[in-house]
Amino acid sequence: MSEPHSYTVATIGFEDRERRVLRNVLAISAHRVPAFRTYTPAPGICPHIVVINLDRAESLQHWQRYLEANGKHALFMTPVFLSRGPVPGVGKYVLHRPVVATRLFQLFEQVVTESHGFVPLSVFDPEDAPVVHGNQPPPAATASKQSSANAPLPAPAVSAPPRATTTPATPAAAGAGSEDVVALVIDDSLPVRIQMHSALKSLATHVDLAETGEEGLDYIAKRPYSIVFLDVILPGKDGYEICRRIKKHPLQQRTPVIMLTGNSSPADRVKGKLAGCDTYLIKPVKQSVFEELVATFIRRPAAA
């Protein structure tokens, strides 16, 4: 029986090596919400997501036969088409090679949200969550380098060029004479980054957003930050390792690091303390509590 917020993934047209790589990538999500795991065939139970390798000509035929064999259950399966080139007209969800873990999880989260009733976990209490203005999310972060944990499935391809991830300063965020407040959010969930961006825009003059710990470290190396929000569960290096590296960096040794988590056990708190984190933010949190926490950790100059 499937666990809440756990979704299964099957493949069609994959070689054994590719299946092993995908299985290892999915294992990264074991403690995330939502979690994704390899589908194990069972009578009357279909996978939530089927990834179809269009680089093999026979894959579409196999997919059609799979649909016919599963009859009415096929309505509960969502296809994701994988290809190294353009795939016009085959379906809504497409993955292009190379497949990076963060991109794969973003697409899978979109699939289960739109097709399987998943409700993304909010950082904030739904009763007083910050309002996201406009129809566009903040700029999506794109890591300049792939980490070993984000290794692509085997196939040659050309990656899109990286894009900067910055939020212009908001003059109203800081009063006259106050120093700039520069925040960094490191979280692989797009909904969380959108919520954090919206919550911080009235508290900070500048916000950087990173999808992975590795990308967050790239930002850390370039400028000092007033405060860092760091997800515990990340693809590649986890939040504890990233926190340790932040605290060892000459520019960031006194920077407060707030770790984001949906469930903080005593063991987690010990690990966080050893890593150097200043406190935890357990989701969902009330907006007023969030603002008090930010005010506590950001040092503002005394009034003249």
- Match domain 148-297 to its CATH number in 3.40.50.620, 3.30.450.20, 3.40.50.2300, 3.20.20.210: 3.40.50.2300
What is the rounded distance in angstroms from the CA atom of residue 283 to the CA atom of residue 281?
A: 6
Q: Using pLDDT thresholds of 50, 70 and 90, give the confidence band for residue 220.
A: very high
Q: Using pLDDT thresholds of 50, 70 and 90, give the confidence band for residue 185.
A: very high
Q: What is the mean pLDDT of residues 203-232?
A: 94
- The neighbouring-strand residues paired with 252 are none
pLDDT value, residue 2: 52
Residue 31 has pLDDT above 80, yes or no: no
Instruction: Express the helix, strand and coil content of the chain in percent, nearest 5 each.
Output: 35, 20, 45
Higher pLDDT, 214 or 234: 214
Q: Write the DSSP symbol of residue 121.
A: P
Residue 51 has pLDDT above 80, yes or no: yes
Provide the residue ranges of all domains of the chain, joining segments of one domain with +.
6-115, 148-297
* Rounded percentage of the chain residues whose pLDDT exceeds 90: 37
Residue 40 has pLDDT above 90, yes or no: yes
pLDDT value, residue 36: 94
Residue 156 has pLDDT above 50, yes or no: no
Tens of pLDDT, residue by residue over 123-151, are: 776 665 444 433 334 444 433 333 333 44
pLDDT value, residue 16: 93
Q: Give this prediction's pTM.
A: 0.58
| C-alpha pair distances (Å), 34 with each of 119, 132, 138, 179, 208 | 9, 22, 22, 39, 24
Tens of pLDDT, residue by residue over 248-259, are: 999 898 899 999
Pinpoint the alpha helices (H) of 3-58: 16-27
69 CB-contact burial (10 Å; exposed 0-12 / middle 13-18 / buried 19+): exposed
What is the rounded distance in angstroms from the CA atom of residue 272 to the CA atom of residue 166?
A: 27
Tens of pLDDT, residue by residue over 265-288, are: 677 778 888 889 999 888 788 888
Q: What is the amino acid identity at position 152?
A: P
pLDDT value, residue 83: 92
Q: Using pLDDT thresholds of 50, 70 and 90, give the confidence band for residue 166.
A: very low
pLDDT value, residue 235: 79
- How much is the mean pLDDT over the chain? 78
What is the rounded distance in angstroms from the CA atom of residue 37 to the CA atom of residue 72?
A: 23
* Rounded percentage of the chain residues whose pLDDT exceeds 70: 77
Tens of pLDDT, residue by residue over 85-130, are: 887 777 789 998 888 887 898 899 889 988 888 877 677 766 654 4
pLDDT value, residue 268: 73
Domains 6-115 and 148-297 share a fold: yes
pLDDT value, residue 142: 36
Q: Which CATH class is domain 6-115?
A: alpha beta
